[in-house]
Amino acid sequence: MASDPIRLKISGASQSYDGERWQFRDLDFELNAGEIVAILGPNGRGKSTLLRVLAGLQRPTSGAMQLNEHTGFVPQEFAGSFPYSVLDVVLMGRARHIGLFRTPRKIDVEKAMDALAATGMADYARRNIDALSGGERQLVLIARALAGENALLLLDEPASALDLKNQDVVLSLLARLADRQGLAIAFTTHQPNHAVAVADKVLLMLDQAAAIFGATVDVMTEANLEALYGVPVRSTVLGSGELMETAFVPLFRQRKRKGNRP
Give the count of beta carbons closer than 10 Å to the beta carbon of residue 217.
12
Parent domain of 17: 1-69+151-228
Question: Looking at residue 255, what is its pLDDT?
Answer: 61
Residues 106 and 200 in one domain: no
Instruction: Show the DSSP H helices in the chain as ranges.
Output: 47-54, 86-91, 95-98, 106-118, 134-147, 164-181, 192-198, 216-219, 222-229
What pLDDT does residue 86 have?
Answer: 96
Q: What is the pLDDT of residue 2?
A: 45
Same domain assignment for residues 9 and 102? no
CATH number at residue 174: 3.40.50.300
Domain end residue (candidates: 116, 148, 180): 148
Residue 211 lies inside a defined structural domain of this protein? yes
pLDDT score at 39: 96
CB count in 10 Å sphere of residue 207:
15
Could you tell me if 143 and 155 lie in one domain? no
Residue 262 confidence (pLDDT): 60
Predicted pLDDT of residue 123:
96
Q: Report pLDDT for 216.
A: 96
Q: What is residue 43's predicted lDDT score, i.e. its pLDDT?
A: 87
| Geometric angle at alpha carbon 158, from 5 and 75, rounded to 5° | 85
Tell me what pLDDT residue 1 has. Answer: 40
pLDDT mean by block of 10 residues, the chain; 262 residues: 75 86 87 95 88 88 85 82 89 84 86 93 94 89 92 92 86 93 94 95 86 94 94 90 85 70 60
- Could you tell me if residue 249 is inside a domain? no
Domain count, the chain: 2
